[in-house]
């Protein structure tokens, strides 16, 4: 290929790790590329209204707009941040192999206990709701910013005991976090730990190259989780968890939806052939709604 692929990325440490990882994978396959740092939406000169482009997603919008304006060839995202409805004229060209999908607790001194007054900071309604469902007397509070910023805020705040993070983010930028517990009981966000490569739908050459980055099983499992999320009409503002895994050609899925205060949770588990995805998906969504999930979702819509 004569042209050098332009990889769009934001400038946070995690975003740069993700972009460099994809650049390395392309180089292994003999494809040259360069990183293009993209500024936030407000700094871009937009000629077309966002609603006409079909562009959504607070974390992905700037890169997707740059794709549509032909400033870059591919955009590298955390797949959990990619809206389930991809923008017009763009496509999810590749889903590389998934990393660690778990959530982790980073604590300062005290390990959480049911009877302990405990304040946990998080940027995620899903994490907050699941935490409050498990630890009834604990409190959660809002924590925003990139990973480094959130870790710094945790240690600066005297009233906070711990904070919740995605394990993949901490691992990818190689942070030294001594007091950390993996939360095997917490159901992750759909597609957590996976990357998504977005390209223009009509760029045949780029889309062929992106196939080199594809991991079919991750596409299947994350695709199932994202369809589950979309059928429930959920997004970043709704506490929905979903995890699919393929073991011996069987797809195992568990999902949940909770009220923001964590007092009510609807939970579902299904298992079936990976060749029967759509039937399994309908079963998962139907069972969750019947288990009280429908009423919980109504409260968000209202």
Residue with tokens 């923001």: 260
Give pLDDT, residue 130.
Answer: 98
Q: What pLDDT is attached to residue 49?
A: 42
The DSSP annotation for 148-185 comes to HHHHHHHHH-TT--EEEEEHHHHHHTT---SSEEEETT
Query: Which pLDDT does position 141 carry in this prediction?
Result: 95
Q: Do domains 5-98+194-214 and 103-183 have the same CATH topology?
A: yes
The CATH homologous superfamily to which domain 5-98+194-214 belongs is Periplasmic binding protein-like II (3.40.190.10)
**What's the rounded Cα separation, in Å, for the pair 162 and 116?**
13
Q: What is the pLDDT of residue 114?
A: 82
Which H, E and C letters describe 272-290, residue by residue?
EECCCHHHHHHHHHHHHHH
> Is 81 an annotated catalytic residue?
yes
Rounded to the nearest 10 degrees, how much is the dihedral formed by the CA atoms of 39, 40, 45, 47?
130
Q: From the candidates 11, 81, 103, 161, give the one annotated as an active-site residue.
A: 81
CB 242 within 8 A of CB 293: no
Residue 51: the pLDDT is 37
Give the whole-angstrom CA distance, residue 281 versus residue 277.
6
Domain spans of the chain, in order of start: 5-98+194-214, 103-183, 240-301
What local confidence, expressed as pLDDT, does residue 47 receive? Answer: 42
**pLDDT tens, per residue, the chain with 302 residues:** 667 999 999 888 999 999 999 999 999 999 999 999 997 653 343 344 433 444 445 668 889 999 999 999 999 999 998 999 898 999 999 999 999 999 999 999 988 988 788 999 998 999 999 999 999 999 999 998 889 999 999 999 999 999 999 999 999 999 888 899 999 999 999 999 999 999 999 999 999 999 999 999 999 999 999 999 999 986 557 899 999 999 998 999 999 999 999 999 999 999 999 889 999 999 999 999 999 999 999 888 77
Please report the pLDDT score of residue 57 as a whole number: 59
Kindly report whether the global pTM for this prediction surpasses the value 0.75: yes
Specify the fold of 103-183. D-Maltodextrin-Binding Protein; domain 2 (3.40.190)
Number of Cβ within 10 Å of residue 172's Cβ equals: 21
Q: What is the DSSP string of 120-154?
A: EEES-HHHHHHHHHHSTT-EEEE--S-HHHHHHHH
């Amino acid at each position: 290929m004569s042209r050098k692929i332009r990889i769009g990325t934001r400038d946070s440490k995690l975003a740069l790790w993700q972009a460099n990882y994809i650049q390395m994978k392309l180089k292994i396959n003999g494809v040259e590329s360069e990183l293009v740092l993209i500024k936030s939406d407000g700094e871009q000169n937009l000629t077309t209204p966002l609603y006409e482009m079909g562009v959504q997603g607070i974390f992905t919008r700037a890169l997707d707009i740059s794709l549509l304006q032909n400033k870059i060839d591919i955009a590298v995202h955390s797949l959990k941040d990619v809206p389930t409805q991809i923008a017009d004229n763009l496509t999810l060209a590749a889903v590389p192999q998934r990393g660690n999908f778990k959530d982790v607790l980073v604590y300062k001194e005290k390990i959480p206990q049911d009877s302990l007054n405990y304040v946990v900071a998080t940027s995620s309604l899903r994490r907050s709701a699941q935490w409050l469902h498990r630890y009834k007397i604990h409190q959660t509070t809002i924590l925003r910013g990139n990973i480094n910023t959130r870790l710094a805020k945790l240690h600066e705040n005297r009233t906070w005991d711990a904070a919740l993070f995605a394990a993949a983010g901490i691992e990818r930028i190689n942070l030294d976090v001594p007091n950390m517990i993996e939360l095997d009981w917490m159901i992750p966000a759909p597609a957590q730990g996976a990357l998504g490569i977005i390209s223009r739908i009509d760029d045949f050459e780029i889309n062929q190259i992106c196939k080199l980055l594809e991991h079919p099983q991750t596409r299947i499992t994350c695709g199932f989780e994202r369809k589950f999320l979309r059928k429930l009409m959920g997004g970043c503002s709704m506490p929905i968890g979903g995890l699919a895994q393929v073991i011996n050609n069987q797809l195992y899925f568990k999902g949940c939806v909770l009220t923001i205060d964590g007092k009510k949770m609807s939970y579902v588990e299904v298992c079936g052939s990976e060749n029967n995805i759509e039937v399994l998906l309908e079963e998962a969504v139907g069972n969750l709604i019947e288990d009280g999930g429908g009423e919980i979702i109504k409260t968000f819509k209202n």
